[in-house]
Structures are given as structure tokens and as C-alpha cells.
């Protein structure tokens, strides 16, 4: 298990991307959060088990029907500062 930080590029704000992703992540019982960043990207921080990485990437790439994901960068993060039993949308 590792904590990942994903940055999603494309048309991902004002198109229900956060809501769609948070619901899909909750359905799969992932823990973490999603939020808009001021540069027009979206950040996702999630607890991901090795076997689930491709499932997370599929959710993030698919997005909402109105979104257009162009690129996703990710990194493993050590200093995770969220405490949640589920997956939440942050402002």
C-alpha cells in the first residue's frame, strides 16, 4: 500500500469531474480526497494498494461525461495529512 498524489490535466473543472471521481472512488472503497487547484488542474490524494493502481487510473482517466482528461502525473507521497474513512471532495 502507498499514498499517491495525482495531478489531472485537461478539461476537468466545472464539468462534474470531482463529483464523478469521488463517487467512483467511494464505490471502490478507496480512501483519500479530490480538489480543484488554482491552475485549472485537479489533485487527488489516495491510499492505493498495488493491485488497485490500474483501477484508480481508469477512474481518473474516464472522468465525467463532460470532462476531457489530457494527462495525469503521479507520485508516491510520504507525508500524507488527511484523515478520512472514505473519499471526500475538498474545496
Active site residue: 35, 36, 71, 83, which one? 36
Q: Is 36 a known active-site residue?
A: yes
Rounded Cα distance between 78 and 91, Å, is 22
Active site residue: 5, 18, 35, 83, which one? 18
Q: By the 8 A CB rule, do 45 and 80 touch?
A: yes
User: How many other C-beta atoms lie within 10 A of the C-beta of residue 1?
Assistant: 8
Angle, helices 53-62/17-27, rounded to nearest 10 degrees: 150
Q: Which residues carry out catalysis?
A: 18, 36
Amino acid at each position: 500500500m502507498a499514498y499517491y498524489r495525482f495531478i489531472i490535466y485537461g478539461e476537468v473543472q466545472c464539468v462534474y469531474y470531482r463529483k464523478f471521481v469521488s463517487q467512483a472512488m467511494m464505490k471502490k472503497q478507496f480512501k483519500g480526497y479530490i480538489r480543484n487547484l488554482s491552475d485549472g488542474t485537479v489533485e487527488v490524494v489516495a491510499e492505493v494498494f498495488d493491485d488497485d493502481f490500474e483501477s484508480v487510473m481508469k477512474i481518473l482517466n474516464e472522468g465525467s461525461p463532460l470532462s476531457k482528461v489530457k494527462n495525469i502525473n503521479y507520485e508516491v507521497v510520504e507525508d500524507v495529512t488527511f484523515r478520512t474513512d472514505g473519499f471526500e471532495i475538498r474545496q
